[in-house]
Amino acid sequence: MRIVLSGGGTGGHIYPALAIGKQAMEEEPGSSLLYIGSPNGLESRIVPAQGIAFEPVEITGFKRKLSYDNVRTVLRFLRGVRRSKALLRKFRPDVVVGTGGYVCGPVLYAAAKLGIPTLIHEQNAIAGLTNQFLSRYADTVAVSFEDALPQFKRSRSTIYTGNPCATNVVRADKKQGFAHLGVPAGSRIVLLVGGSRGAKAINDVMVDMVPLLGRLPDVHFVFVTGESYYERTMERIKAAAPRLPSKLIVLPYLHRMPEVLAASQLVVGRSGASSLAEITALGIPSILIPSPNVTNNHQEANARSLADAGAAEMIIERELNGAALFERIGRIMMNRDVHKQMGEAARGLGMPDSAALIVGELKRLTRK
């Protein structure tokens, strides 16, 4: 099977596309992948590092208010469609997959006009503008959250698949997670992470919480600051607690995230779609602090889906403080019944076979 993948701007769009490509290669050895993305986006660095062929297409997003910039964006879109058609004719894919971000627009639109089967995947509970636009041209729309299905009423076909990133973590070895952290196997771990780049609000509340950690002596706290925040955050932690708690591990970045996630009993962090797919696939309770700085406030909608199901607790960032967060961590970690109920609710939302479901749909589309 020959597959074109497209998605960009953030890891939340890129990693689901890569997970789909990986699953396709496992199921169909000898398949060929081409990734079309923005020349300046994260995908331009992440994708080639995975050994996948990459081609750039220039595109920018529309402003949400009337602007002359939107005229130039339309012109870039049309040029992007022409460039995409040339790339598609050369590669001759059996199917084209888009996972969101502006660059998907010209690529999936071009594929539809060329009569190539297409699938788009929406990661969030609130659909992005590009996927909403593309849904009227795509053959299939796959969603991570059932709540998103009604937003694609104009599409030809919609399916609930979950997020393909979930497939990676269910294969992770928790023993390697314990070993990577240097803690005994079976240790009780609370993982606090603000995303791959970190989150200032979560770092700030963690500094406030450090003096309280000794009240949970049997719990290891793994705190990931983000590389740009690490040195300053460590200075503040040492000022707040000159004698660091023995079971506090502070890292700038976590290179073995799937393994450490598999070893964790509670996750505290943002509510990006890929992260939620991973923790539900593993059945891990969570305390979610949605970022307020995202389009359509979609992280709050993502978090609310888990909270309403009893799989997570949600704290709005403006209400966040160290004492309140520590109280919630303690209540979940010290009450086995609460922890078990939240874990079961999370697992009930998990879709560990998401990537396989999507690849199955791709096979169906290529047989039509």
pLDDT tens track for 119-158? 999 998 888 888 999 999 999 999 998 888 999 988 899 9
- Give the tens place of pLDDT for each residue, 93-109: 999 999 998 899 999 99
Domain 171-349 has CATH 3.40.50.2000: yes
Q: Which two tokens stand for residue 121?
A: 């995947």
Check residue 246 and give its pLDDT. Answer: 86
Two domains, one topology: 2-165+352-367 and 171-349: yes
Q: Is this model's pTM higher than 0.85 or not?
A: no
Percent of the chain at pLDDT above 90? 72
Residue 63 predicted with pLDDT over 60: no
Please, which pLDDT band fits residue 276 given cuts at 50, 70 and 90? very high
State the Cα torsion 319-324-326-332 to the nearest 10°.
Answer: -100
Residues in Cβ contact with 240 at an 8 Å cutoff, skipping those fewer than 6 apart: 207, 208, 210, 211
Check residue 331 and give its pLDDT. Answer: 96
Check residue 67 and give its pLDDT. Answer: 52
Residues in Cβ contact with 264 at an 8 Å cutoff, skipping those fewer than 6 apart: 177, 189, 190, 191, 222, 284
Q: Which two tokens stand for residue 268?
A: 């505290």
Check residue 69 and give its pLDDT. Answer: 61
Domain ranges (residues) in the chain? 2-165+352-367, 171-349
Check residue 313 and give its pLDDT. Answer: 97
Check residue 41 and give its pLDDT. Answer: 86
Q: What is the mean pLDDT of residues 219-242?
A: 90
Mean pLDDT of the chain: 91
- Cβ–Cβ contacts within 10 Å for residue 348, how many? 12
The separation between the first and the last C-alpha atoms of the chain, rounded to the nearest angstrom, is 14
Residues in Cβ contact with 364 at an 8 Å cutoff, skipping those fewer than 6 apart: none
- Look at phi and psi of residue 297 and say left if phi exceeds 0, alpha if psi is from -120 to 50, else beta: left
Q: Which residues are annotated as a binding site for UDP-N-acetyl-alpha-D-glucosamine?
A: 10-12, 124, 196, 299
Residue 170 predicted with pLDDT over 70: yes
Q: 3-state class of 352 per DSSP?
A: coil
Check residue 216 and give its pLDDT. Answer: 93
Selecting from 3.30.365.10, 3.40.50.2000, 3.30.565.10, 2.120.10.30, what CATH number does the domain 2-165+352-367 have? 3.40.50.2000
Q: Which residues are annotated as a binding site?
A: 10-12, 124, 196, 299
- Give the tens place of pLDDT for each residue, 340-353: 999 999 999 988 89
- Give the tens place of pLDDT for each residue, 286-340: 999 999 887 778 899 999 999 999 999 999 999 999 999 999 999 999 999 999 9
